[in-house]
Chains A and B, each alone.
Chain A
Amino acid sequence: MTRETCINAALLLGLLAVPLWAWATDEAFTITLATRVAILALAGVGLNIALGLGGLVSLGHAAFFGVGGYAMGILASHAQSYTPLAEWPLVIEGSTSMPVIWLVAMLFSALAALAVGALSLRTSGVYFIMITLAFGQMFYFFAISWPAYGGEDGLSIYVRNGFPGLNTLDPIQFFGICFALLALALWLNARLARSPFGLALGAARQTPARVETVGLSPFRLRLTAFVISGAITGLAGALFADLNRFVSPTMFSWQTSGEIMVFVILGGVGRLYGPVAGAALFITLEHVLGGLSEFWHVYLGLLLLLVVLFARGGLIGLIAGRQVAHD
Chain B
Amino acid sequence: MTLILFIEQLLNGLQFGVMLFLMAAGLTLVFGVMGLINLAHGSLYMVGAFAAAAVAGWSGSFLLALIAALVAAAAAGALVELLVIRRLYDRDHLDQVLATFALILIFSEGTRYLFGSFPLYLNIPDALSGPVMLPGGIAYPAYRLALIVIGLAIAAGLFWLINHTRLGIRIRAGEADREMIAALGVDISKLYTIVFALGAALAGLAGALVGAIQAVQVGMGEPVLILAFVVIVIGGIGSIKGALIGALMVGLTDTMGGLLLPALFGLFMDNSAAQATGSAIASMLIYILMALVLIWRPQGLFGVRA
Contacts and interface: CB of A to CB of B under 8 A. Distances in A.
A269 B92 CA distance: 13
Nearest to B306: A123
Task: Identify the interface centre among B84, B93, B102, B295: most chain A CB within 10 Å of its CB.
Answer: B102
B283 A304 contact: no
A300 B99 contact: no
A301 B283 CA distance: 31
Interface string A129-143: 111011101100110
Contacts, number: 124
Interface in A114-164: 119-120, 122-127, 129-131, 133-135, 137-138, 141-142, 144-148
Given A134-B226, A304-B101, A304-B102, A126 B283 contact: no
Interface in B94-112: 94-95, 97-99, 101-106, 108-110, 112
Nearest to B226: A137
B95 A142 contact: no
Contacts of A125: 93
A138 B287 contact: yes
Interface residues of B, number: 44
Contacts of A124: 306
Given A146-B276, A309-B99, A298 B284 contact: no
B109 A131 contact: no
Contacts of B294: 119-120, 122-123, 131
Given A144-B283, A254-B226, A312-B95, A129 B37 contact: yes
B164 interface: no
A142 B284 contact: yes
A147 B306 contact: no
A295 B102 contact: no
A24 interface: no
Contacts of B280: 142, 145-147
Nearest to A312: B95
B287 A135 contact: yes
Contacts of A51: 94
Given A131-B290, A261-B97, A308-B95, A119 B295 contact: yes
Interface in A303-322: 304-305, 307-309, 312
Interface in B196-250: 222-223, 226, 229-230, 232-233, 237
Contacts of A261: 97-98, 101
Contacts of A193: none
Contacts of B101: 258, 261-262, 304
A254 B222 contact: yes
Interface in B60-110: 84, 87, 93-95, 97-99, 101-106, 108-110
Contacts of A254: 222, 226
B233 A130 contact: yes
B54 interface: no
A302 interface: yes
A26 B94 CA distance: 42
A126 B92 CA distance: 10
Given A59-B97, A119-B295, A301 B287 contact: no
A143 to B, nearest CB: 9
Nearest to B31: A126
Most B C-beta atoms less than 10 A away, residue of A127, A141, A142, A312: A127
Given A147-B276, A261-B97, A301 B102 contact: yes
Interface of B: 31, 35, 37, 84, 87, 93-95, 97-99, 101-106, 108-110, 112-113, 222-223, 226, 229-230, 232-233, 237, 276, 279-280, 282-284, 287, 290-291, 294-295, 298-299, 306
Given A122-B295, A262-B101, A300-B105, 12 more contacts: A125-B93, A127-B298, A131-B294, A137-B287, A142-B280, A147-B280, A254-B226, A265-B98, A298-B106, A301-B106, A304-B102, A305-B99
5 contacts: A138-B283, A138-B284, A144-B283, A297-B108, A309-B99
